Structure 1
Amino acid sequence: MAFARTIRVAIIAAAALAPAIVAGCSGYRPAPKAFQEATIQPYRLDSGDRLRVTVFDQANLTNTYLVDQAGYIAFPLIGSVPARGNTIQEMESIIAGKLRQGYLRDPDVSIEVANYRAIYIMGEVGQAGQYSYVAGMTVQNAIAVAGGFSPRANQANVDVTRKINGKIITGRVSISDPIMAGDTIYVRERLF
């Protein structure tokens, strides 16, 4: 009788601990609220973005500029301009302000992103690697670009690593969620 009771207690204890053990093994982290909020905020520039800068009536200044690894663009006349973390509108103001300091009387600067920084897709996909980001992309679009799911892939959700306010954060999201330039998407293997 005591033996059966001990087994029953052990089974109940194991059943109670099973969810915690499974969660600990999988590294499950739901996406924080900041994950979703980041997708609706103004786009923030970072290394790898290529910008089309137009200075009206100044053909020699109008060109495409790459945000380098340090987060700057090299702009004629004014030199290195910090771009990392700035929005497009902030960059327009910064460049116009620097050009006003002895170079142009009233510069009219317009900037658009010519090419966004790459996204990275890893795990259970047809062809893992680095891919071009397109505005409005979802996780599912990105996986399609990488050759779709492998036969072993968990197709319900994925882990996304994203830089938010200078911090690297990983969270689990649905495949219908939007992604951002610079994201790393990891498709896990399904359990069964």
Structure 2
Amino acid sequence: MIGVSKLSRAFAMMLLAACVMLGVAVANPARAQQAAIGNTPVSAAAQPADYLLGPADKVRVTVYGEPSLSGEFFISGSGVMSLPLIGEIRAGGMTLGQFQSAVQKALSDGYLKDPRVSAEVLTFRPFYILGEVEKPGTYPYTSGLTVLNAVATAGGFTYRADKRTVWIKHNGETSEVKGELTPSIVVAPGDTIRIGERFF
């Protein structure tokens, strides 16, 4: 028969272990959350649900159970994507969800029974930066890009640059919008950034 002291000691050890685990969770909630979800990494390039596809986006299309119909494809300048079996399909101006539905519908129209399709953007269309930066031009877009990141990518400001304002033309729009240049201004794929010249 186990003595009371031994039971008390075992209970105390269990209580101590629980307190230590609780302390880890409080001190580092991110680690505790990661452990709770099985260390599943979260994509750094998380794609917003309302992102609209456009020319030069590279998309991975997966048709489950049909490897010959799956692959990585670019959206052309006219906004279409050429896919196996179904040919050209409109992609520009669609969200990923809308595009997936369009591909599923096209495949189910006499080709496959109940196709299941997923799509994800692998590389976004580039951004453009002009004006008073050292190396104006076209650069690859990365998720979470800010105007200051874009300027750094282009070699930094010239000595003539107006570092207080920025002009941005969003993809698909015809006019620039002037704004205060702050660290929080986010650039979208296809944006054209212009850094003006300061007046002495």
TM-score by structure 2 length?
0.72
Q: 2:69 maps to which residue?
A: 61
Q: 2:138 maps to which residue?
A: 130
Q: 1:186 maps to which residue?
A: 194
Q: How does 1:70-109 map onto structure 2 within 5 Å? A: 70-109=78-117
Q: How does 1:113-152 map onto structure 2 within 5 Å? A: 113-152=121-160
Query: 1:88 and 1:172 mapped to 2: Cα distance?
Result: 30
Query: 1:75 and 1:175 mapped to 2: Cα distance?
Result: 42
Query: 2:176 and 2:136 mapped to 1: Cα distance?
Result: 18
Aligned amino acid, residue 65 of structure 2: D
TM-score by structure 1 length?
0.75
Query: 1:80 and 1:123 mapped to 2: Cα distance?
Result: 37
Conserved in 2, the CA contact under 8 Å of 1:50 and 1:113? yes
Aligned amino acid, residue 128 of structure 1: P
Aligned amino acid, residue 142 of structure 1: A
The verdict on how the C-alpha distance between 1:184 and 1:126 changes in structure 2, with shifts beyond 3 A counting, is same
1:171 is the counterpart of 2:177? yes
With CA pairs under 8 Å and 6+ residues apart, which has the higher RCO, 1 or 2?
Answer: 1
The verdict on how the C-alpha distance between 1:111 and 1:41 changes in structure 2, with shifts beyond 3 A counting, is closer
1:162 is the counterpart of 2:166? no
Q: 1:35 maps to which residue?
A: none
Conserved in 2, the CA contact under 8 Å of 1:162 and 1:170? yes
Conserved in 2, the CA contact under 8 Å of 1:45 and 1:83? yes
Deviating beyond 3 angstroms after TM superposition, the runs of 4 or more aligned structure 1 residues are none
Query: 2:49 and 2:156 mapped to 1: Cα distance?
Result: 29
* Structure 2: gaps of 5 or more residues: 1-47
Structure holding more strand per residue: 1
Following superposition, the deviation at residue 121 of structure 1 comes to 0.6
Q: 1:48 maps to which residue?
A: 56
Following superposition, the deviation at residue 169 of structure 1 comes to 3.0
Following superposition, the deviation at residue 102 of structure 1 comes to 1.5
Report Cα offsets for 1:120-175 as digits up to 9, x if no partner.
11111111110001121111111111111111111112101113xx5323101224
Q: Greater Rg, structure 1 or structure 2?
A: 2
The verdict on how the C-alpha distance between 1:121 and 1:167 changes in structure 2, with shifts beyond 3 A counting, is closer
How many pairs does the alignment contain?
Answer: 151
The verdict on how the C-alpha distance between 1:137 and 1:160 changes in structure 2, with shifts beyond 3 A counting, is same
* Structure 1: gaps of 5 or more residues: 1-39
Aligned amino acid, residue 78 of structure 1: I
**SS where residue 122 of structure 1 aligns?**
strand
Following superposition, the deviation at residue 96 of structure 1 comes to 0.6
Aligned amino acid, residue 155 of structure 2: G
**SS where residue 159 of structure 2 aligns?**
coil
